[in-house]
Amino acid sequence: MSTWKGRDVLNILDFSRGDLEELFELAKKYKEDLKNHRVNRILEGYVIALAFFEPSTRTRMSFETAAKRLGAATVGFTSGEGTSIEKGETLADTIQMLDSYADLIVIRSKFEGSAILASEVAVHPVINGGDGKQHHPTQAMLDLFTVTELFGSPDGLTYAVVGDLRYGRAASSFLLGLTRFNPEKVILVSPKQLRARPEVLMTLMDSGIRYHESDLETALEEADVVYVTRIQKERFPDPAEYEKVKGSYRITRGLLEAKAKNGLKILHPLPRVDEISHDVDNTEWQAYFIQAANGIPVRMALLSLVLKGDEL
């Protein structure tokens, strides 16, 4: 029996392995439907609010595409600019309004806890499209779906998570999501200023997942899945420090040819800047474009499970 209907999607930790497997099953079916141009209007008549207080290209457009592929309509805004918040309205009042217009709200904000607040105000389900530094649960869902698709299951694999593990919410949510499965181990690769947050490490530890810090070359030699994220210049008080650091986190075709474990796949939540060189794009290691494309079927599955649950 599905437990999805009417649920808020705030934190990847709110979902069990069984929940995620149910989601992946449906996403797989939708992916097949898309490939075969089968039109599905199961959400016709539904209105989904996209409340993007922080601009986003990929997350916003993939939710919008997912909704429309299922016949739902969307309303919303693409940045906080010009919204009532600028006139001094509270987030709660804005959400109250959206809740009375739409059947489901997707919220994206740079403020930690915005999605939780929204879910407390709203009668309808709220999906966290990314808030603050830690939570981006739907990104973790599509990441884990991609791993499942590539390897059959997330179990038994060695993961390296590379880049900004401190402020990058995609990396944190991915690490949290791994606790729903049985990874072999996790390798953390980051500059010392951007190490994984203690609460994330604690969660790994509590779940009995082995992890250790290492460098990029070791990671490439040992990992099956290398999850790369952007290192933002702004995180470094001293630009010279950034310049010194960034070369050590750059994956090139040459480096992969020299080091990569057999069957290794590279994920990246995108956008990338230069942490993965473009000469990797047409190799067997590349899985980030597959991952990006999976945003559609996974979010289609998510929207339909939350809105319809067992009625599907």
Is residue 136 among the annotated active site residues? Answer: yes
Residue 312 binds a second copy (CB under 8 A): no
Q: Which of 35, 87, 192, 212 is catalytic?
A: 87
Q: Which is nearer to a second copy, 51 or 305 (CB)?
A: 51
- Under 8 Å between Cβ of 111 and 132: yes
Residue 210 Rama label (left phi>0; alpha psi -120 to 50; beta): beta
Instruction: Give SS3 for 216.
Output: helix
- Of the candidate spans 10-18, 59-67, 184-192, 217-225, the one that interacts with a second copy by CB under 8 A turns out to be 59-67
Q: Does 73 bind a second copy (CB under 8 A)?
A: yes
Determine if 82 is a binding residue for a second copy (CB under 8 A).
Answer: yes
For CA atoms 293, 260, 241, 188, give the dihedral sign: positive
The CA-based angle 54-287-19, given to 5 degrees, is 70
# chain residues binding a second copy, by CB under 8 A = 51
By rule CB under 8 A, what string of x and - marks binding of each residue 286-305 to a second copy?
---x--xx-xx---------
Nearer to a second copy, 204 or 303 (CB): 303
- Of the candidate residues 14, 25, 44, 199, the single one contacting a second copy (CB under 8 A): 44
DSSP code, position 224: S
How far apart, in Å, are the Cα atoms of 232 and each of 65, 139, 220, 310? 28, 19, 22, 42
Q: Enumerate residues 182-241 that contact a second copy by CB under 8 A.
A: 230
C-beta closer to a second copy: residue 16 or 79: 79
User: Distance (Å, rounded) from C-alpha 171 to C-alpha 198?
Assistant: 14
Residue 209 near residue 233, CB atoms below 8 Å: no
Residues engaged in binding a second copy (CB under 8 A): 37, 39, 41, 44-45, 47, 49, 55, 57-58, 61-62, 64-65, 68-69, 73, 75-79, 81-84, 87-90, 92-94, 96-98, 100-102, 230, 270-274, 278, 289, 292-293, 295-296
